[in-house]
Structure formats: C-alpha cells, structure tokens
Amino acid sequence: MATGEQQPQLGTTRVSSSSTSPRGRAATGSGAEKYERDARRYWDIFYKRHEDKFFKDRHYLDKEWGKYFEGHDGEKMVVLEVGCGAGNTIFPLLSTYPNIFVHACDFSPRAVDLVKKHKDFRSDRINAFVCDITSEQLTENMEPSSANIVTMIFVLSAVAPDKMPLVVQNVKNVLKHGGRVLFRDYAYGDLAQERLMSKGQQISENFYVRGDGTRAYYFSNEYLVDLFSKCGFTLEEICVHNKQVENRSLDLVMNRNWIQATFTLNSADRQGPNDLHVCEGKEDKLVADSSKKKSSSEEIDLSEDFCNMFGTSHNLDEVQIMGIKAKGHDFKIKVLTKEYQHTCKLTGLMLWESAQLMCGLLAENPSIVAGKRVLELGCGSAGICSMVAASFAKFVVATDGDAESLDLLRQNISSNLEPNLLDRIMIRKLFWGNNDDVRAVRELSDNGAGFDCIIGTDVTYNPDAILPLFKTARELISDKANEDSRAAFILSYIQRRVDENSILSNAMAQGFRLVDKWINGVHESNGIISSWFSGNDVCSAYQNTTLSILYFEL
C-alpha cells in the first residue's frame, strides 16, 4: 500500500497517462460517443451474460468500514449502494448488519432484476431501483439528505470523467449532514490499465474501453480528492493498495492497484492536514497458487483477478469471418467480432497486422520454413502463419497458452487446410515458462531434437512476458547447426511500450544473438529479411504501420 498522496512515479511504472499504443486504435471521436451513448446497453448485456457469477461477494466491507454501519442508540442506518450490480455488496452487508436499510440502484435494469430475484431480497429492507446517476436524480427514488452512508464500490470508474462531478453532486443530495461516502475503485498503474493501453483502447486520459463496451477509469489520489472536495466533501482517509500477484512458474509479477477512501459531507469537525488518516507505505504480495485459498486480508476484488485477466470468459459465438489472402492461400478465419476486440483478458482471439505480414512473407518465401521443424509461439486463434508453414515445412506445432484461443484455432485450421496438410500440423497448449508444457512440446520435435524455426508474431506487447518468452524459446530451439543451416527465432511485432533494447537484453541473457532486423520505413536490414521482400508487394499494405522483424540465432 502507498501512503496518502503518493502515486506510482514515472520512473517505476510502465503506464503513461497520455500515451496510446499502436497495437489497436484509441476509442476517440464517434467511437467514444458510442460507448457513452450505449453505456446502459453494454452493462445490461454484461449482466445478461454473467448474471451474478462475475463479481465476488464483498465481505471485506465489514473489515474495512464496519464501524460506520453500526448505528448509535438504536439508530437504523440508511445505506445507498450506487451501482449495486447483482447485489455483491448489499447482501453481505444485510446479513452482517440486520438494522440497516439499503437503497440499491444501478442503471442496468437487468442488474436490478437480479437483485430483486436474489434469495435474500426483502422489500422491507431493500429499495432497488434503476437510475442513471449521471442524468437522473436519486431524490426521485429516496428522500433528500436521508442516507447515513453511500457505498461506491468499483462504480465511478465506469462513468465518463466529465460526468463524475454530476454523480458526486447527485450523491451529495441524498446524504445526511456528516454522512460518509465509502469509496473503492481502480487506481492508476493497475495491470489492467496497462493491458488496455497495450491494445490501444484509451478513450481519454486514464479512461479506457473494455472488450464488452464497458469502460474503466483509473484514479490518482489527487484527481479523486479534488473531485470530492469541489462538491463539499472532506477527505477522512485514503489508501492506494498494491497487491503483487506472482506466478512463479511464469516468472511474472503482476501489480494490481486499487484506491480506497472515505469522504465526509460537511463534517462538523473538519480535519486539518495533520488529522488526515493515510495508510503507511506497504506492499502486499500474493503468490498465484490454485491450491491455496486467499485469506480475507488477501482479497483483491478488482473485477479482473488473475484468473479472469488471463483465463477465459469470452463467447465464441461472437465471431466474424475474415478473409486472408497470401500467395497460393485463401483463408476464411473466425475471429472475435470487432465490437469485442478491446478485451482486457485475451489477445489471442484477434488477428494482428504482424501475423498478416509474416503470413505473406512465408507464402512468398517458402525457404524460411521448407523442410524444417517449425514452432509458432502464441499463435492465437487464427493460426495463419502455421497454416502457410504447413505447406512447406516438415511439420508445424502451433501453440498458445489459452484454451479458448486453441479451441477457435482448431476450428480455423480444420476448415482451411486440406487433409494432407492437416497431418503436418499439431496444436498444443504452451504456457511460456510452464515446464510440463515445454517438455511436452519439445518431445514433438523428432524425439526432443528441438525446432529449426520458431516464429512469434505480436508476442512482445507485455513487458512481464518477455523473459518467459525467450526462456521458452531457448528450451525449444534446436542447438544443432552447421554453416549452411542454423536454427532461427523470428519475431514480428508492432513497436509499442516494450522497446527493442528490452527485447534484445532478454534475448542475449538466454543465449540468442541478433543476426538481422527490419523496421518498416526505418531500417532496411542487413540482407536476410530484406531479401524476403524482393519481388513482391507484401509490405505495401503496411506503409503506415511501424512493424518490426527481428531474426535471432543461438
């Protein structure tokens, strides 16, 4: 946890509040307006899809703020839950504090219906209603100045920043003098923010759109305090929590950040600077281990936990057919529909420009893979490079770490390749750094001889995955070579936050040396890669895209 006003410093975080990534397109202009206009519809679709199974019940409210829910002298506390969702906050509260009455609102009618259908719903204890808090007054459904507490748990982040003051003012109108707002939401520098940025899904500063059309803002202390102060609230306490989620098998440490604060309305005893309660600097670490149960003190509750961010929950019936042509090949590929391509969980369900570039080069230059044992790392669901390589290689192993991407990959390969080519391609799960996966894939390479050519397209967008990527490639590449033939590791990618120096330093650490590089419009290569473009127009479709190709050998 960080203290008070401290925020991640620019020198220690990879998130820039104003940059966008070329991997995807920023949702600006008419796109941003669409997400604002259809916000209610997107959340309604969300609850139609997930019902009450996405968010965990928030039992930590008692531990964090229990003293505020206890009425004095028999007082019956009145609580307003803004953005109640399926009731993951209100029902744990009601079971713990029998003397509270809860107003629960959400602007998704489906979410409110889920609350009313909950087995513990009682109309004498809960007033559940639909309300767009950016444009509809809460006082239409509850009395002004009647609530002792307002809980805002991961809700304000879904609101456009220019409308946040309207929301805070709306909340102020129903809060009693001296009442409190209990706030928890996403904090600047969270891993989810980094992943959304890497896919170019930034709407505005610190504001992003997810794959399902819902949005998320990542708060700094300064922004949050200023927002509430301007509406007449006094800051009582604030913390920025940092939970390090570590996956030892992948050598990854993922930072999950959230901000927690308590604000008081027109407090009679306004606190001075020395009275403000802030958290002492502390950093928590959580090791990702499915065999261990997290204690309540380790609860993350960030909507996307480790499994959600790197696991599955997409709907494969939400796909579109995309035509891909390369010399001698005409593929019809199923990919996630454009509307859902901003997902913060997976990138493998999409088709990126670097894969299309490499596909074209392989079709024009069969010698890259001809007669070789070929491995594709992180091929995703399209598999177009593996399918082209299957026409010329001795055999191909197409791999990805995500089961859902592999399911769609199997469909794409079976529907696009002739039976004789299907015998040359194998599909396997490979989570980089997972020893069991690595051993299983290596055994496919002629009894463990290793692969002559390893290909990776757009697999360098996550800084934390670069080292596991090269470690895995080193374990799987063939170390048997002669002057005429050396095993190669070829990376094709769009330049983004992971700079070339970081890639090269990790490559060298694992015993790879850079033999050649090509950067579209910047660096013409030393001969190997430039020869691939001779006599064809593969590059013409990518003139405005900063694509790079790196060619490594041991």
Residues 371, 264, single domain; the answer is no
Please report whether residue 220 resides in a domain. Answer: yes
Residue 288, domain member (yes or no): no
Domain assignment of residue 476, yes or no: yes
Confidence check: pLDDT of 46 > 80: no
Closest listed residue to residue 329, CA positions, set 373, 374, 362: 362
Same domain, 97 and 173: yes
Same domain, 255 and 363: no
Res. 117: pLDDT tops 80: yes
Of 260, 284, 309, the one marking the end of a domain is 309
How far is it, in rounded angstroms, from Cα 456 to Cα 478?
Answer: 16
- Structural tokens at position 497: 């936050």
Closest to 312 in 3D by CA, of 401, 428, 413: 401
Confidence of residue 278 (pLDDT cuts 50, 70, 90): low
Rounded to an integer, the average pLDDT of 5-18 is 34
Residues 113 and 44 in one domain: yes
Whether residue 5 lies inside any domain: the answer is no
Please say which residue of 280, 309, 338 terminates a domain.
309
- 260: in domain: yes
b/e map of 228-237 (b: 16 or more CB within 10 Å)?
beebebbbbb
The pTM of the full predicted model, rounded to 2 decimals, is 0.54
**Residues 349 and 462 occupy one common structural domain:** yes
Residue 4 pLDDT > 60:
no
What are residue 153's DSSP bridge partners?
184
Strands (E), 221-328: 233-247, 252-265, 277-278, 284-287, 319-326
Domain extent, residue 410, equals 319-553
The whole-number pLDDT of residue 187 equals: 93
- Residues 48-64 have pLDDT tens digits of 766 655 566 676 787 88
**pLDDT of residue 17 exceeding 70:** no
Distance CA(290)–CA(336), nearest Å, equals 29
Contacts with 105 (C-beta within 8 Å, 6 or more apart), sequence order: 80, 81, 82, 83, 84, 112, 128, 129, 130, 131, 133, 138, 141
Is 337 a residue whose pLDDT tops 70?
A: no
Co-location of 242 and 366 in the same domain: no
Does residue 295 sit within a domain? no
Residue 179 — very low, low, confident or very high, per pLDDT cuts 50/70/90? very high
Same-domain status, 329 and 256: no
Mean pLDDT of 430-442: 94
- Check residue 59 and give its pLDDT: 66
pLDDT tens digits, 210-259: 776 788 899 999 999 999 999 999 999 999 988 776 655 444 566 788 89
- Please give the tally of structural domains in the chain: 2
User: What is d(CA 290, CA 513) in angstroms, rounded to the nearest whole number?
Assistant: 37
Residue 191 sits in a domain of what CATH number?
3.40.50.150
Give the confidence band of 340 by pLDDT, cuts at 50, 70, 90: very low
Q: Are 149 and 81 in contact (CB under 8 A)?
A: no
Output the average pLDDT for the chain.
80
For residue 422, what pLDDT is reported?
93
Please check the confidence at residue 156 and state whether its pLDDT lies above 60: yes
pLDDT mean over 307-313 = 38
Pairwise CA distance, residues 489 & 134, whole Å: 52
192 and 70 in one domain?
yes
262, 333: one domain:
no
Last residue of a domain, one of 277, 309, 341: 309
CB atoms within 10 A of CB 537: 9
Q: What is the pLDDT of residue 539?
A: 82
Q: Is position 21 within any domain?
A: no
For residues 250 and 328, state if they share a domain: no
Residues 155, 60, single domain; the answer is: yes
Residues 367 and 482 in one domain: yes
Q: What's the mean pLDDT in 335-340?
A: 56
| pLDDT > 60? residue 277 | no
User: Is residue 59, in this structure, part of any structural domain at all?
Assistant: yes
